[in-house]
Amino acid sequence: MAAIPDLPEIASLERSWRRWATLLILGFFAIAIALALIVLPTREPGGGDFFTALCRALGISGYEAIPTLPPAATAAPASDVVWTGDLRRILASASKQRGAAIAADNCATCHGDDGLSTDKDQIPNLAAQSDEAIFKELRDYATGARVWDLMAAPAQSLNPQQMADVAAFYAALPPARVAPAADGVSIEILRLVHEGDPSRGIPGCDSCHGMSKSGPEGAPFLVGHPASYLDAQLQNFATAARHNDLFERMRTIARELTRDETHQLAIYYGGNPLPVYK
C-alpha cells in the first residue's frame, strides 16, 4: 500500500507547481510583449531601432510610423526633354538654312514646303509653330515617348542640333491664314477657350495654346491645325494613348472634357480660312 504524502510534502509540491506555472505564464507574457513592442515593430518598413519601436508601441508622440506607399506601376515612357541652359543654347544657335535643307529631304512630303500639312486628317501644320514645341516633339518621337511609326525613323535620324535647325526653319515660316472658328461652336466652348472651367481644374486653353505662345516651353499654339488631327490628339491624351505631356498636364485636362467638348474645341482651333488680299 503506497504511502500517503504528509501535509508538509504536499504543500512543497503545490508551491513548486505554482512557481513553475507562474514562471511559464510570465515567460509567455514576456515573449508576447517582446514580439509586440520590439520584434514586429522593428521589422516593419521604417521600423527603426529598439528605442523607437518601443516608444511607437507605447504611443509616444513623435515616434509614429511613416506610412509607405505601394510600388508605383511601371509607367509608360515620358518625355525626357528638360529646358536646361545647354538645350536653350542649342535652340539659340539653330540655323534656318541648315534646317531648310534637312526639311526638304525628310519632312516636306508630309508637312509641305511651306510647313502646311499635306494630310488634313493626321498631320499637323508646322509653319510658324513654336521652335520649342517642334524640337520637343521631334525628341519625343526619337526616344519613343511619343509613338507614331511615320515619325520614328525621321526623328531618330536627327541629332539634337539638327532637330533645333528644323525647328528654327519651320518656326520662321508664315502661319496658315486661318482664324478661330468662333461662329461654329457653343458659348460654353468659347468660355473653355478663354476662361477654362475652375470647377474641373481646367485652365483657359488659350492661356497655353493661344497665338501669343505664352504657355510653358513646348506647348504648341493650335490655331490652324487640322481639326481632325486636334480631335484625335485630345482623345489620345484622354485615354493616355499619348503620354508625352510634361507633368501629365494634357492627360489631366483631357480626361475632364466630354467627347462633344473635344470635338468642338478641335473645330474652334481648326479655324476658318481668312481671305487673301492682293
Is the Cβ–Cβ distance between 64 and 121 less than 8 Å? no
The residue among 21 and 144 whose pLDDT is bigger is 144
Instruction: Tell me how long the chain is.
Output: 278
Express as a percent the part of the chain with pLDDT over 70.
74
| Mean of per-residue pLDDT scores for the chain | 84
Residue 223 inside a domain? The answer is yes
Comparing C-alpha atoms, which of 110, 119, 143, 123 is closest to residue 243? 143
Q: In this structure, what DSSP letter does residue 200 have? A: G
Q: 144-152 long-range contacts, Cβ below 8 Å, gap at least 24? A: 144/77, 145/77, 145/78, 145/79, 145/80, 145/243, 145/244, 146/79, 146/242, 146/244, 150/110
- Given 171, 194, 220, the domain boundary residue is 171
Residue 246 inside a domain? The answer is yes
Neighbouring CB atoms inside 10 A of 143's CB total: 17
Are 216 and 146 contained in the same domain?
Answer: no
Q: Is pLDDT at 143 greater than 60 in this prediction?
A: yes
201: CATH: 1.10.760.10
Distances from the Cα of 239 to the Cαs of 103, 149, 172, 242, in angstroms? 32, 19, 33, 8
Query: Which residues face 197 on adjacent strands?
Result: 202
Are 186 and 248 contained in the same domain?
Answer: yes
pLDDT, mean of residues 90-94: 96
Residue 18 inside a domain? The answer is no
pTM (two decimals) = 0.72
Q: Is pLDDT at 9 greater than 80 in this prediction?
A: no
Residue 265 — very low, low, confident or very high, per pLDDT cuts 50/70/90?
very high
Side chain identity at residue 150, one-letter code: L
Rg (CA), the chain: 34
pLDDT, mean of residues 22-35: 69
Domain interval for residue 211 = 178-273
Q: Is pLDDT at 77 greater than 70 in this prediction?
A: no
Express as a percent the part of the chain with pLDDT over 90.
63
Burial profile 227-261: b = 16 or more Cβ within 10 angstroms, e = fewer? bebbbbbbbbbbeeebbbbbeeebbebbeebeeeb
Q: Is pLDDT at 200 greater than 50 in this prediction?
A: yes
- Given 171, 198, 219, the domain boundary residue is 171
The residue among 10 and 91 whose pLDDT is bigger is 91
pLDDT, mean of residues 236-245: 96
- Given 171, 195, 213, the domain boundary residue is 171
Render pLDDT for 34-62 as a digit per residue (tens, 0 to 9). 655 555 555 555 445 555 655 666 666 55
Distance CA(271)–CA(193), nearest Å, equals 13
Are 186 and 265 contained in the same domain?
Answer: yes
Least confident of 23-37, 105-119, 136-150, 209-223: 23-37
Are 102 and 166 contained in the same domain?
Answer: yes
Residue 39 inside a domain? The answer is no
